[in-house]
Each structure stands twice: as C-alpha cells, then as structure tokens.
C-alpha cells in the first residue's frame, strides 16, 4: 500500500481525489504539515479556484518552499497543475516555478469577428492527444476522453506529455522530472482518470 499525501490547499475536490486514490488501494492523508508531506511516497496538489488565492494560501501555510524542494513524485491536478508553472495571468501571480511557462486565459477569439471562438470556462469531456510517450500515460489510448473544468490553461511546451484542444491547443498532461500535472480532473474522468492515478502511484514514474 503506497502512502499518498494530499496537500490541503483549500480545494473543494480534496474528498473526491481521496476516494479515487483509496479505490486504487492507496493510503491517503490530507495534510498541511511539512513533516507529513515530506514523508509521503507520493504528493498530490489538488486545486480548484483562482491562482492568486491558491498561491496566497500556500504562502500563508508556509508550503511554497516545501513543495519546491520535494524529492518524491508530485502531481498537480487542475489548479494544482497551473500553480506548478512559473506564473499565471490569473491575478498576475508568481507561482511555484516547477514547470517552465506562464498560464494564460483560455479565451481564443474568432479571427474575423473577434468574437469568442469557444465557450469559457471549458467544461466537459475532451480528447487527449499524446505528444510523447511516458509512464504516466501508460495504457491510456490516444484520443481517450477526460473531464475538464477550467478557464485558464498552460501552453504546450517542453514538459507537455499530452494536449487537448478547446479553441487552441493547451497542455492537458505535463511531466518534468518528478513533477507531473493533469489539467483535467482524474477523479471525475472514469477509467482514464483512474488509470492516470494508478500510473502515478506505480514505480514507472518514481
């Protein structure tokens, strides 16, 4: 049984992420204690809401440097993934700096009418397209669908493992060393989400 700590950053999805992991046989704790976080085999940073609020809470809890210096695999989910980037346009806030790039508003516009080209926030199921092979994506078919809820998105870059498209391409899954992120909600993405979480718990990404 692998030991997982969920960082309590105030996200409303903590409970559902915990249950999804427990269904996979993980031992899950929710904590803001640095010693507890550092002792875990895997750490997950869930999150919903705004980047500036999320970073303010991490600073308030004294967890920014704790997260930056983790030596075990870390997975950011939704806002948690966005906070792993260098900065976010949402609130013009400096983030954790674990993944290169800046998160920007997901608001592509029609080139002719300048009207919004797609509905924002992006809510619902969307296809994943792998851009490079990785253990985090093992047994997830190219074109498999996952569930998204977000109004900001990370660019496609060197850390991108899979992309999705909503008006434009954006990073749906990222990986940089032992730092990973899923823009979609694996806890709400049925078999695809369960597989990604199982892969994160496996030795393939350690």
By annotation, the residues acting in catalysis are 78, 185, 187
Q: What are phi and psi of 114, to 5 degrees?
A: 65, 15
CA dihedral 19, 71, 200, 120 (to 10 degrees): 80
Q: Which helix (H) or strand (E) holds 146?
A: strand 145-150
Give CA–CA dist 78/82, Å, rounded.
Answer: 7
CB distance 99 to 181 below 8 Å? yes
Give CA–CA dist 173/42, Å, rounded.
Answer: 17
CB distance 82 to 97 below 8 Å? no
User: Residue 74 corresponds to which tokens in the numbers above?
Assistant: 């870390």
Q: Is 139 helix (H, G, I), strand (E, B) or coil?
A: coil
């Amino acid at each position: 049984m692998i030991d997982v700590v969920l960082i309590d950053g105030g996200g409303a999805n903590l409970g559902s992420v915990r249950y999804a992991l427990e269904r996979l046989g993980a031992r899950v704790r929710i904590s803001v204690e640095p010693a507890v976080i550092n002792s875990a085999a895997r750490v997950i940073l869930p999150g919903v809401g705004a980047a500036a609020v999320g970073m303010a809470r991490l600073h308030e809890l004294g967890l920014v440097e704790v997260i930056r210096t983790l030596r075990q695999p870390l997975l950011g989910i939704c806002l948690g993934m966005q906070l792993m980037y260098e900065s976010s346009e949402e609130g013009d806030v400096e983030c954790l700096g674990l993944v290169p790039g800046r998160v920007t508003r997901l608001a592509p516009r029609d080139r002719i009418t300048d009207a919004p080209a797609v509905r924002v926030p992006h809510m619902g199921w969307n296809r994943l397209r792998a851009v490079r092979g990785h253990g985090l994506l093992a047994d997830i078919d190219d074109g498999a669908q996952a569930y998204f809820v977000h109004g900001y998105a990370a660019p496609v870059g060197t850390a991108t493992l899979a992309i999705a498209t909503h008006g434009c391409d954006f990073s749906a899954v990222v990986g940089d060393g032992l730092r990973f992120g899923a823009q979609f909600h694996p806890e709400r993405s049925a078999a695809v989400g369960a597989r990604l979480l199982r892969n994160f718990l496996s030795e393939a990404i350690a």
